[in-house]
């Protein structure tokens, strides 16, 4: 039926003359805000309250009387989650909800490729659109603070600039499908242990310089239509109804006009939820938090209790009108968006996109010449490790995916080599949420010995282990217990290396880990949860069909205590339990997160942020520097040449350091990156523009970003620790940039 005929029919149902003009709120030709205003004028108090809370596990109501549709949400952001039952957490058992499993966002960050971020958002958005979802819960941009955080694999690394730059094109492309991004988890959700109520204390400077910039870019540049609050507390208030985060910063400073949605069960108080910027309350259970029953969605904090407070005059009607306005704006942008395209799912184009992202994400950490493995030379290969066959789309909590296809590393390696055998090496048990199977040591010993005994008989050994999405690994709701690899893998790798020197360690994880065996193996590959195309991406990289170009989005400390969050004792991580007031935590490393800590404190990482090798070599030329005539910017151009024998891609990174400041500053901070694609012998230029904004730090006393006159250094680099050239420049007292 034509949209105007539909609105005419609805007008009749509403008692509006059929000859009258289309109601403003249903007229797609009217400006959005006019439609919202008109819809609000027609809604009752009860209808306004109703749109502010869930009606099922993954939906919130519209206004049925007015023909305003409900909102349907889905977990993401690595793919559209399988359908969940209306009123419990069981899977609905549909046969048409299988999807493409895209690489985890940690993998996307490792590509350092903004174009791939847009490709990712476009494709996952098409699948969400096909599944009739209005809101995809992602991307996640929380900062990688500790390698023990079970949810790091869902985020985009330790640097706010990298995370923000990758999030913006993802969000824009996703929303071009008429599907809202719901950027999460706002804010300071940097661990899973005690996540529901830990109270985080952090300086304003660290908040603004490290933990907020990616969210700000998502809002001000990505124009995200919704934001998800975090479970934890900040300054004593839960983040899902935190006055400073939501009222002052998100809406006041950044001008956010979308809807704030709780994490599931993240609301704790009706008055705070009413006053402190929350728009939609979703729940883990039907009373929002603790218990399950058939008809208790009205018991949510923003349901009957809120309506009662409004009727008694305990909170102003303006609060619910503001919330309903934000929710309606989200509905018009998604469910009522007449311009949204048709969706599609598990298409060849989506698989190709997943493969392209996976290809550029894999990081080559070490290579003494063994890689790439030539199938003509290495004809008989032994693959060891459970992750070679395990479907890593399963488990992990809300990121679990029902993939139509999962191509495993073992299957892809078998297609590449003449003879391939497999030994499991270790076993981890079932995918379990916040729980785990206990594997008998005798079982682990037996599997290890079997693999070690087999290893000498092969031309090469490919070890594919690491972590998985079991509880206490890379999994929502629990943190890792140790920095080393679990299930005896360190001993297994050491013994395999002793049995066969031609060993490639190609681990799959979403986190850094200790490598006590690093000096004993000739090649180390860091892979991620790559989804549907895991196997083909890993096999093509190992055999040289794809030249690795991934760069680490976070540092790999040599030891856990080398990580900044773990340098200050329990009060810094995981926090201390104070009894009635709950656990509390202090971010004592302040702004020195990740490479900022390693470089400033001169504690070298095992593998630094931004690091990654290639099968070719790149030579960096001398930077050319030009100051604009107005002195407001510096243009820096550096030529890069592929001096090897194969085509490759190199990410050129720009870091800036402040020689002398009135406050503590890191040695250098990432301020730009360019990924170049170069044929053998070819030269291309990476171009950067430096402005005063790149020099600023957050001043707590003035609540403002400031720069100070003085000398700065622009560092062209292949990683945070591999500086190719340094260019000094000045900021004058007149606020002008000079060589």
**CB within 8 Å of 371: residues ≥ 6 apart:** 364, 504, 523, 525, 542, 544, 615
Q: Closest Cα partner for 277 from 306, 249, 308, 309?
A: 249
Catalytic residues: 263
CB 723 within 8 A of CB 715: yes
Whole-angstrom distance, CA of residue 351 vs CA of residue 378:
29
Counting Cβ atoms within 10 Å, is residue 186 exposed (0-12), middle (13-18) or buried (19+)?
A: buried
CB 720 within 8 A of CB 609: yes
Q: What is the largest CA-CA distance in the chain?
A: 86
Q: Cα–Cα distances in Å, from 490 out to 176, 462, 524?
A: 46, 15, 13
Whole-angstrom distance, CA of residue 143 vs CA of residue 596:
13
Residue 576 DSSP code: E
Q: Closest Cα partner for 465 from 381, 544, 409?
A: 409
Gyration radius of the chain over CA positions? 26
Helix (H) or strand (E) holding 446: helix 441-454
Dihedral angle of Cα 103, 614, 158, 712, to the nearest 10 degrees = -140
- What are the φ/ψ torsions at residue 51 (nearest 5 degrees)? -75, -5
Dihedral angle of Cα 283, 289, 295, 296, to the nearest 10 degrees = -110
Whole-angstrom distance, CA of residue 56 vs CA of residue 89:
10
Whole-angstrom distance, CA of residue 670 vs CA of residue 654:
6
Strand residue runs (E) in 409-466? 419-423, 460-463
Beta strand 233-234 with 460-463 is: unpaired
> What is the secondary structure of 426-441 as a DSSP string?
-------SS------H
Whole-angstrom distance, CA of residue 611 vs CA of residue 718:
7
Instruction: Name the percent of the chain in helix, strand, coil, to the closest 5.
Output: 30, 20, 50
CB 279 within 8 A of CB 320: no
What is the edge-to-edge ordering of all strands in the sheet holding 233-234? 237-238, 233-234, 199-201, 583-586, 576-577
Return the structure tokens found at 705. 């970003």
CB 130 within 8 A of CB 345: yes
């Amino acid at each position: 039926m034509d949209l105007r005929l539909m609105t005419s029919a609805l007008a009749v149902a509403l008692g509006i003359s059929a000859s009258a003009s289309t109601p403003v709120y249903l007229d797609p030709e009217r400006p959005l805000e006019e439609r919202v205003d008109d819809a609000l004028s027609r809604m009752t108090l009860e209808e306004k309250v109703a749109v502010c809370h869930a009606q099922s596990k993954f939906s919130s109501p519209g206004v049925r009387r007015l023909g305003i549709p409900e909102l349907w949400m889905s977990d993401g952001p690595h793919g559209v989650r399988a359908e969940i039952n209306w009123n419990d957490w069981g899977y609905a058992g549909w046969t048409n909800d299988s999807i493409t499993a895209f690489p985890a966002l940690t993998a996307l960050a490792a590509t350092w490729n903004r174009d791939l971020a847009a490709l990712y958002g476009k494709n996952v958005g098409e699948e969400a659109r096909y599944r009739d979802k209005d809101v995809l819960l992602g991307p996640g941009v929380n900062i990688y603070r500790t390698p023990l955080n079970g949810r790091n694999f869902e985020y985009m690394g330790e640097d706010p600039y990298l995370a923000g730059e990758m999030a913006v094109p993802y969000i824009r492309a996703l929303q071009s499908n008429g599907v809202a991004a719901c950027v999460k988890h706002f804010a300071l959700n940097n661990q899973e242990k005690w996540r529901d109520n830990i109270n985080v204390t952090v300086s304003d400077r660290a908040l603004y310089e490290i933990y907020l910039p990616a969210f700000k870019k998502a809002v001000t540049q990505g124009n995200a239509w919704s934001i998800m609050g975090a479970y934890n507390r900040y300054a004593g208030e839960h983040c899902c109804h935190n006055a400073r985060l939501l009222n002052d910063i998100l809406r006041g400073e950044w001008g956010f006009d979308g809807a704030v949605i709780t994490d599931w069960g993240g609301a704790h108080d009706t008055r705070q939820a009413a006053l402190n910027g929350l728009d939609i309350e979703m729940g883990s259970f039907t009373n929002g938090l603790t218990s399950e029953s058939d008809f208790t969605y009205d018991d949510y904090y923003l349901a009957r209790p809120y309506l009662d407070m409004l009727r008694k005059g305990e909170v102003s009607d303006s609060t619910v009108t503001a919330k309903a306005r934000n929710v309606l704006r989200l509905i018009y942008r998604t469910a009522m968006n007449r311009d949204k395209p048709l969706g599609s799912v598990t298409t060849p184009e989506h698989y190709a996109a997943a493969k392209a992202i996976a290809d550029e994400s894999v990081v080559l950490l070490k290579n003494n010449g063994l890689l790439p493995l030539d199938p003509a030379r290495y004809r008989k290969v032994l693959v060891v490790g459970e992750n070679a066959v395990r479907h890593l789309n399963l488990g992990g909590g809300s990121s679990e995916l029902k993939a139509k296809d999962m191509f495993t590393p073992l299957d892809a390696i078998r297609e590449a080599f003449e003879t391939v055998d497999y030994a499991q090496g270790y076993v981890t048990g079932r995918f379990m949420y916040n729980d785990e199977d206990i594997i008998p040591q005798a079982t682990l010993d037996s599997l290890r010995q079997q693999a070690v005994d087999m290893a000498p008989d092969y031309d090469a050994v490919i070890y594919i282990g690491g972590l998985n999405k079991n509880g206490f690994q890379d999994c929502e709701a629990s943190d890792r217990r140790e920095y080393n690899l679990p299930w005896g893998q360190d001993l297994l790798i050491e013994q395999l290396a002793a049995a066969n020197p031609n060993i490639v360690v190609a681990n799959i994880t979403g986190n850094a880990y200790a490598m006590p065996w690093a000096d004993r193996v000739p090649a180390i590959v860091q892979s991620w949860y790559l989804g549907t195309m895991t196997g083909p991406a890993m096999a093509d990289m190992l055999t040289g069909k794809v030249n690795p170009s991934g760069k680490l989005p976070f540092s790999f400390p040599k030891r856990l205590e080398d990580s900044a969050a773990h340098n200050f004792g329990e009060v810094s991580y995981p926090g201390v339990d104070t009894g009635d007031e709950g656990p509390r935590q202090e971010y004592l490393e302040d702004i020195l997160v990740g490479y900022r800590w390693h470089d400033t404190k001169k504690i070298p990482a095992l593998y630094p942020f931004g690091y990654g090798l290639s099968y070719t070599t790149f030579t960096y030329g001398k930077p050319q520097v030009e100051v604009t005539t107005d002195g407001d910017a510096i243009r820096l151009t550096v030529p890069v040449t592929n001096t090897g024998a194969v085509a490759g891609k190199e990410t050129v990174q720009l870091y800036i350091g402040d020689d002398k400041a009135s406050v503590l500053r890191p040695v250098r901070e990432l301020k730009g990156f360019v990924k170049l694609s170069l044929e053998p012998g070819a030269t291309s230029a990476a171009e950067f523009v430096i402005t005063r904004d790149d020099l600023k730090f957050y001043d707590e006393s003035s609540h403002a970003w400031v720069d100070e006159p003085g000398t700065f250094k622009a560092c062209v680099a292949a990683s945070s620790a591999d500086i190719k050239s340094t260019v000094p420049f000045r900021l004058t007292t007149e606020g002008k940039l000079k060589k």
